[in-house]
Amino acid sequence: MCLKVIIVDDEPLAINVLKNYVSQVQELCLEATFSNAVEASSYLQNNEIDLIFLDINMPILDGLDFLQTFRVTPFVIITTAHEEYALKSFELQALDYLVKPIPLPRFLKSVQRVIALKQNAVVPGNNSKYEKESIFVKVDKKKLQKVYLDDIMVVESLKDYIRILTLTNKYIIHQTLSSFTDELPSNRFLRIHRSYTIAIDKVNVVEGNSLEIGGIRYTIGRSYIEEVKKAILQG
């Protein structure tokens, strides 16, 4: 398997760093690089791509506006020097958010997630050993939405509601965080604060009394910190 990749960034140095990183991953094939999103958009009209490394602050058309033009969204990993666009990027279905200068280990971890998702998606006719676990959530009075557990990143309390942030979407449902957390497998999900439950395998960084998922920091509650670090660091 070789995932077709393009890089969209107006900084030649950043492109060179990413080209070097991509060349070190056997499963990635670099198809093209672009210094602006308009050229990349033209390219995508006639070419199928699996993964885009996308900068945000670019001339003519910025990365976030570019994301909103997609009819069929490939995997997108944001690469930027600015931390403040993370939430907006995830709302637009970006898979990950890497802040420059990007360390190689962080790059590799993000790419491995893409490879794993692609491998899970490309299993035609395989109905034997593994079927993705899912849960149905009530997103309005009449609609039940299937959410795959593999896709859930963070569940946030909003008093009598919760917000479920997944790899590609977010859902707000009328349920308490405690009751929803009880429905999730305890070996995969962990309450870290009175306001947050997280997917253990989505944690990128643990530092002091906080952890990072998808480029966003979440505080670990004082009463949870011992259990959280044991579950994440000792696995």
pLDDT digits (tens, 9 = 90+) for 4-53: 999 999 999 999 999 999 999 989 999 999 999 999 999 998 899 999 99
Q: Which tokens sit at 146?
A: 């299937």
Pairing between β-strand 3-8 and β-strand 189-193 as defined by DSSP bridges: unpaired
Please report whether residue 218 resides in a domain: yes
Domain termination site, one of 121, 155, 183:
121
Residue 200 falls inside a structural domain = yes
Full strand arrangement of the beta sheet holding 161-166: 170-173, 161-166, 152-158, 196-199, 189-193
Q: Is residue 196 part of a domain?
A: yes
Dist. CA 22–CA 17, nearest whole Å: 9
| Residue of 26, 13, 164 lying closest to 5 (CA atoms) | 26
Q: What percent of the chain has pLDDT over 70?
A: 91
Domain boundary among 121, 143, 164: 121
Question: β-strands 152-158, 196-199: how paired?
Answer: antiparallel
Q: Is the pLDDT of residue 133 over 70?
A: yes
pLDDT of 63 above 70: yes
Q: Which of 121, 146, 181 is the last residue of a domain?
A: 121
Number of structural domains found in the chain: 2
pTM flag (> 0.75)? no
Rounded CA gap, 232 and 108, in Å?
Answer: 19
Task: Report if residue 182 sits inside a domain.
Answer: yes
Give the C-alpha separation, 100 to 123, whole Å.
34
Question: Domain range holding 180?
Answer: 134-233
**How long a stretch of residues is the chain?**
235
How many CA within 13 A on the CB side of residue 206? 16
Coil, strand or helix at 207: strand
∠ CA 82-57-68, nearest 5°, is: 105
Run of H or E residues at 183:
helix 177-183
> What is the pLDDT confidence band of residue 132, given thresholds at 50, 70 and 90?
low
